[in-house]
A and B are shown apart, each in its own frame.
Chain A
Amino acid sequence: DAGITQSPRHKVTETGTPVTLRCHQTENHRYMYWYRQDPGHGLRLIHYSYGVKDTDKGEVSDGYSVSRSKTEDFLLTLESATSSQTSVYFCAIRESRGGSTDTQYFGPGTRLTVL
């Protein structure tokens, strides 16, 4: 357990509304990531953060923005939700241990449905 929580765990919203998903970690990890999981695609990286206020785009960043104003929270925002953003969203942290390769650990996920 890497101390990662996501909220909400489930959300149903309508097309065109803004949505914010929250990822919270308790162990002061520097790196955090947002992925989406879709059938037939595995997991794809949306955005990641390498420190407070330091973020960058991943493979599927269009339509998403992120913010990280403090170490423990990484927010993912859909400015105007579309049906193609219906998905399961996972947050991850990267754990670094001296002498061992860095490893990502995942939160429990948020299931988002856009009607």
Chain B
Amino acid sequence: GDSVTQMEGPVTLSEEAFLTINCTYTATGYPSLFWYVQYPGEGLQLLLKATKADDKGSNKGFEATYRKETTSFHLEKGSVQVSDSAVYFCALSENSGYSTLTFGKGTMLLVSP
């Protein structure tokens, strides 16, 4: 079955540092890939998505590129802020059937001033 593997956290960075959160996946077909973010005490918000190989999703300074050859969708940001502290989830959806989401376990990011 489908699966998503994320790097374990917490990831601790100083403000303005470069961020990478690794995500790899296993899927039977050609899935769409997503990053969701969960701020403390809140629900999940869609951060970005990509639907096919070599697509780059971007939003709020975050980027991720769909790499089919390495089955990866790593999240990056050039300069993190304290307000980016949250839990980040990588997820995939097969583009067929009922399009249920398969999530990674989440990576907590802590940014200090």
Contact = CB atoms under 8 A, between A and B. Distances in A.
B103 A43 contact: yes
Contacts of A41: 105
B101 A107 contact: no
Contacts of B113: none
A102 B99 contact: yes
A40 B98 contact: no
Given A90-B43, A102-B93, A48 B103 contact: no
Interface in A83-115: 90, 92, 94, 100-109
Which of B34, B45, B99, B106 has the largest number of chain A CB atoms within 10 A?
B99
Interface in B15-40: 32, 34, 36
Which of B43, B89, B91 has the largest number of chain A CB atoms within 10 A?
B43
Contacts of B89: 42-43
Nearest to A90: B43
A31 interface: yes
Interface residues of B, number: 23
A5 B27 CA distance: 32
Contacts of B95: 101
Contacts of B103: 42-44
A52 B36 CA distance: 28
A94 B105 contact: no
A87 to B, nearest CB: 14
Contacts of A40: 105
Contacts of A109: 42-43
A102 to B, nearest CB: 5
A43 B105 CA distance: 7
Contacts of A35: 101
Interface of B: 4, 32, 34, 36, 42-46, 49, 51, 89, 91, 93, 95, 98-101, 103-106
12 contacts: A42-B104, A43-B103, A44-B103, A94-B99, A101-B49, A103-B34, A104-B46, A105-B46, A106-B36, A106-B44, A108-B43, A109-B43
